[in-house]
Structure 1
Amino acid sequence: MDIAALITWVVTALGGFYMLGTWIRRGGIRQQQTGTSRLPVPVVFGHFALAAIGLVVWSVYVVADKTALAWTAFGLLLPVALLGFVMLARWIPVHRERATAGAPPAVSAPGAEGTVPAERHFPVPVVVVHGLLAVATLLLVLLTAPGVGGS
């Protein structure tokens, strides 16, 4: 089960890294000054940093098989999940605005990054799969830490 958790964590991280790159590329950091983006920089980078640190800790656990590392990784996942839910709650209204307008995400011209929230460019399937795999990862880590299913 530890390898399954590692695989789901890595695939989840790839989706998250894609969304982070999209958000940065579309001007998410600069949009904090104008209030266009609804995703606060500390939340975005806190989510990313804690998830990355947790993934490293989990990778070491898979090699070393030390229970304390599994619980540490689980402890790191809890604030990652909380920050993820905060971002999801802030992304949903942006997505609904686009859906009610019936228009695809606007293509930002160079220098026009401030007109459309950067997170509006997140593909819905990526957001959904990222969230589902994150929940699966959390459950797999929670089951593996106490030794359910062996390691």
Structure 2
Amino acid sequence: MDIAALVAWVVTALGGFVLLARWISRGGLRQQQTGTTRFPAPLVFGHFLLAAAGLIVWIVYLAADRSALAWTSFGVLVAVALLGFAMFARWVPVYRTAAPAAAAGDAGEETTPAERHLPVPVVAAHGLLGATSLVLVLLAALGVGGS
């Protein structure tokens, strides 16, 4: 169960890197000043940093086999999931809104929120794998499946 959780978490992180890179490349950071994006930078980077910290704690748990570390990872992952759900809730209305017709290249890009360009399959896979990671970490912390 421990290794399955690690694999799920790493694959989830890879999808998260794709989403983060896409959001930044489409102007997510620049749009902070104009308010075009619905993703505040602290929300995006808080989700990323907490997930990375939790993954590091999980790897330390795998090496040290201390149940307190497993439960710490689980707690961090719950916070990560809540931040992720907040972003998902902000993303859905933006995605459902019809994209404005860009008359002149960059002008259209500046009025379209960066999160509008996130690929739906990656968003869905990231969320599902994140939920899977959460369940696997919980099961491992409970001792289900052995260490």
Query: What interval of TM-score do these two structures reach, taking the shorter chain for normalisation?
Result: over 0.9
Name the residue aligned to 1:123: 119
Name the residue aligned to 2:81: 81
Query: Aligned partners of 1:93, 1:32: CA distance in 2, in Å?
Result: 18
How far apart are 1:112 and its partner, in Å?
6.0
User: Aligned pair 1:40/2:43, yes or no?
Assistant: no
The equivalences for 1:1-151 within 5 A come to 1-98=1-98, 109=105, 113-151=109-147
How far apart are 1:148 and its partner, in Å?
1.1
The amino acid of 1:9's aligned partner reads W
The amino acid of 1:66's aligned partner reads R
User: Which runs of no fewer than 5 residues in structure 1 stay unpaired?
Assistant: none
User: Which runs of no fewer than 5 residues in structure 2 stay unpaired?
Assistant: none
**Equivalent residue pairs, number:** 146
Per the alignment, do residues 111 and 60 of structure 1 end up closer, same or farther by CA in structure 2, a change over 3 Å counting?
A: farther
TM-score after normalising by structure 2: 0.93
TM-score after normalising by structure 1: 0.90
- Tell me, what secondary structure is at the counterpart of 1:145? helix
How far apart are 1:65 and its partner, in Å?
1.1
How far apart are 1:131 and its partner, in Å?
0.4
Query: Aligned partners of 1:54, 1:113: CA distance in 2, in Å?
Result: 34
Higher helix share: 2
Cα deviations across residues 19-74 of structure 1 (Å, max 9, x unaligned)? 00111111101111111100111100000000000011111111221111101100
How far apart are 1:113 and its partner, in Å?
4.1
How far apart are 1:109 and its partner, in Å?
4.1
How far apart are 1:110 and its partner, in Å?
5.3
Please provide the CA RMSD for this pair. 1.9
The amino acid of 2:11's aligned partner reads V
* Sequence identity percentage: 66
